[in-house]
Structure 1
Amino acid sequence: MSKQSGVNLQAMGILVSIIEQRMVPVANWLTRSQHVLALRDGFQLAMPFIIIGSLLVPFLYPPVLADSVHPLAQWLLAVSRLVSPLLYPVYAHTLGLISLIIAYGTAASLAKAYQLPERLSGLTGCLAFLMLIDFSSLQPGIFGYLGGLGIFTALCTAIYAIEVIRLFYRRGWCIHMPEEVPLMTRRGFQLIMPLLFIMLSLSLLKVWLQTQFDITLPQLMAELFRPLISGADTLPALLLALLVAHLLWFMGIHGALIITGVLSPFWMANLAANQAALVAGEPLPHIFLQGFWDYFLLIGGTGSTLPLVWMALRSRSRTLKSVGKLGLLPSLFNINEPILFGFPIIMNPLFFLPFIAVPLLNAILAWQLTQWGFLDRFVALLPWSVPAPLGAAWAANGSWHNLLMSLFCIFNSWMIYRPFFVIHEKMMLQQETEPATAE
Structure 2
Amino acid sequence: MYSKFENFMKKYLAPLADKMDKEVHLSAVKKAMVAMTPLLIIGSFCLIPEAIPNMIGKNHVISQWILTNLDIIYIPYNVGMALMSVYVTVIIAYQLANSYKLDIPGCVTMGLVSFLMLVVEFTEDGGISKTYLGPKGLFCAMFAGFIAVELFRWCKKKNFTIKMPDTVPDFVSRSFEMIPISVIIIGFFLIVRIVCVNVLNTMPPLIFTAIFAPLVGSMDNPIAYTFLKMLQALIFFFGIHPSVLSPITSPISTQFLAENIAAVQAGHVATHFYAPGPESAFGNFTGSGVTIGCVFWCLMSKNKALKQVGRLSFIPALFGINEPILFGAPIVLNPMFFIPFVICGGIIGSLGGWAMYLGIMKCSTFTPPYVGVFLEGFLTNMDPMSIVVNAVQLILSILIWYPFVKSYEKTYGNKEEETNAISAEDAAILDDLDLDF
Instruction: Identify the TM-score tier after normalising by the shorter chain.
Output: 0.7 to 0.9
Does residue 325 (structure 1) correspond to residue 315 (structure 2)? The answer is no
The Cα shift of 1:425 comes to: 2.8
Deviations, residues 370-414 of structure 1 (Å, cap 9, x unaligned): 23211111122334x342322222122x11111221222122111
Separation in structure 1 between the aligned mates of residue 229 and residue 350 of structure 2, nearest angstrom: 11
Separation in structure 1 between the aligned mates of residue 124 and residue 77 of structure 2, nearest angstrom: 16
The Cα shift of 1:432 comes to: 5.0
Q: Give the equivalent residue in structure 1 for 2:392.
A: 408
- 1:416 counterpart letter in structure 2: I
SS across alignment from 1:136: coil
Does residue 145 (structure 1) correspond to residue 129 (structure 2)? The answer is no
**Alignment partner for residue 275 of structure 1, among 225, 245, 261?**
261
SS across alignment from 2:359: coil
Q: Give the equivalent residue in structure 2 for 1:60.
A: 50
Separation in structure 2 between the aligned mates of residue 142 and residue 242 of structure 1, nearest angstrom: 37
Moved more, 95-104 or 124-133: 124-133
Distance 1:184 1:353, change over 3 A: farther
Deviations, residues 187-237 of structure 1 (Å, cap 9, x unaligned): 444333212321233233323433334322123222332333212321232
Separation in structure 2 between the aligned mates of residue 286 and residue 90 of structure 1, nearest angstrom: 22
Deviations, residues 243-283 of structure 1 (Å, cap 9, x unaligned): 222111111111x1012221112112222322222122223
Deviations, residues 132-155 of structure 1 (Å, cap 9, x unaligned): 223435999997211111101100
Confirm or deny: 8 A CA contact 2:222 2:357 kept in the other structure. no
Which 5+ residue runs of structure 1 have no aligned equivalent?
1-10, 65-69
Confirm or deny: 8 A CA contact 1:55 1:382 kept in the other structure. no
Alignment of 1:128-143 (within 5 A): 128-137=114-123
Confirm or deny: 8 A CA contact 2:225 2:350 kept in the other structure. no
The Cα shift of 1:325 comes to: 3.1
The Cα shift of 1:62 comes to: 5.2
Alignment of 1:271-350 (within 5 A): 271-350=257-336
The Cα shift of 1:360 comes to: 2.4
SS across alignment from 1:172: coil
**Alignment partner for residue 96 of structure 2, among 98, 110, 115?**
110
Confirm or deny: 8 A CA contact 1:92 1:142 kept in the other structure. no
- 1:389 counterpart letter in structure 2: F
The Cα shift of 1:298 comes to: 1.1
The Cα shift of 1:431 comes to: 4.7
Confirm or deny: 8 A CA contact 1:98 1:148 kept in the other structure. yes
Moved more, 273-282 or 97-106: 273-282
- 1:15 counterpart letter in structure 2: F
Q: Give the equivalent residue in structure 1 for 2:344.
A: 358
Deviations, residues 6-32 of structure 1 (Å, cap 9, x unaligned): xxxxx3212212323443343233223
Confirm or deny: 8 A CA contact 1:278 1:284 kept in the other structure. yes
The Cα shift of 1:421 comes to: 1.8
Distance 1:314 1:131, change over 3 A: same
**Alignment partner for residue 29 of structure 1, among 6, 19, 22?**
19
SS across alignment from 1:412: helix
Does residue 216 (structure 1) correspond to residue 198 (structure 2)? The answer is no
Confirm or deny: 8 A CA contact 1:294 1:388 kept in the other structure. no
Q: Give the equivalent residue in structure 1 for 2:2.
A: 12
**Alignment partner for residue 44 of structure 1, among 22, 34, 42?**
34
Separation in structure 2 between the aligned mates of residue 415 and residue 63 of structure 1, nearest angstrom: 42
- 2:311 counterpart letter in structure 1: K
Separation in structure 1 between the aligned mates of residue 109 and residue 293 of structure 2, nearest angstrom: 47
Moved more, 303-312 or 239-248: 303-312
Percent of residue pairs bearing the same amino acid type: 26
Separation in structure 2 between the aligned mates of residue 350 and residue 141 of structure 1, nearest angstrom: 59
Separation in structure 1 between the aligned mates of residue 9 and residue 141 of structure 2, nearest angstrom: 34
Separation in structure 2 between the aligned mates of residue 137 and residue 419 of structure 1, nearest angstrom: 65
Which 5+ residue runs of structure 2 have no aligned equivalent?
428-437
Distance 1:146 1:386, change over 3 A: farther
Misfit runs of 4+, over 6 Å: 138-143
Separation in structure 2 between the aligned mates of residue 330 and residue 321 of structure 1, nearest angstrom: 15
Separation in structure 2 between the aligned mates of residue 182 and residue 338 of structure 1, nearest angstrom: 56
Moved more, 211-220 or 412-421: 211-220
Q: Give the equivalent residue in structure 2 for 1:67.
A: none
SS across alignment from 1:388: coil
Q: Give the equivalent residue in structure 2 for 1:392.
A: 377
SS across alignment from 1:374: coil
Deviations, residues 15-70 of structure 1 (Å, cap 9, x unaligned): 21232344334323322322111111221222222222223322235595xxxxx7
TM-score by length of 2: 0.86
Q: Alignment RMSD, CA only?
A: 2.9
Q: Give the equivalent residue in structure 2 for 1:99.
A: 85
SS across alignment from 2:48: helix
- 1:249 counterpart letter in structure 2: F
- 1:200 counterpart letter in structure 2: G
Deviations, residues 281-320 of structure 1 (Å, cap 9, x unaligned): 2233322222332111211221112343343334333222
Separation in structure 2 between the aligned mates of residue 21 and residue 79 of structure 1, nearest angstrom: 62
Q: Give the equivalent residue in structure 2 for 1:252.
A: 239
- 2:80 counterpart letter in structure 1: T
Q: Give the equivalent residue in structure 2 for 1:225.
A: 212
SS across alignment from 2:74: helix
Confirm or deny: 8 A CA contact 2:53 2:63 kept in the other structure. no
- 1:16 counterpart letter in structure 2: E
Moved more, 285-294 or 429-438: 429-438
Separation in structure 2 between the aligned mates of residue 322 and residue 189 of structure 1, nearest angstrom: 65
TM-score by length of 1: 0.86
Number of residue-to-residue matches in the alignment:
421
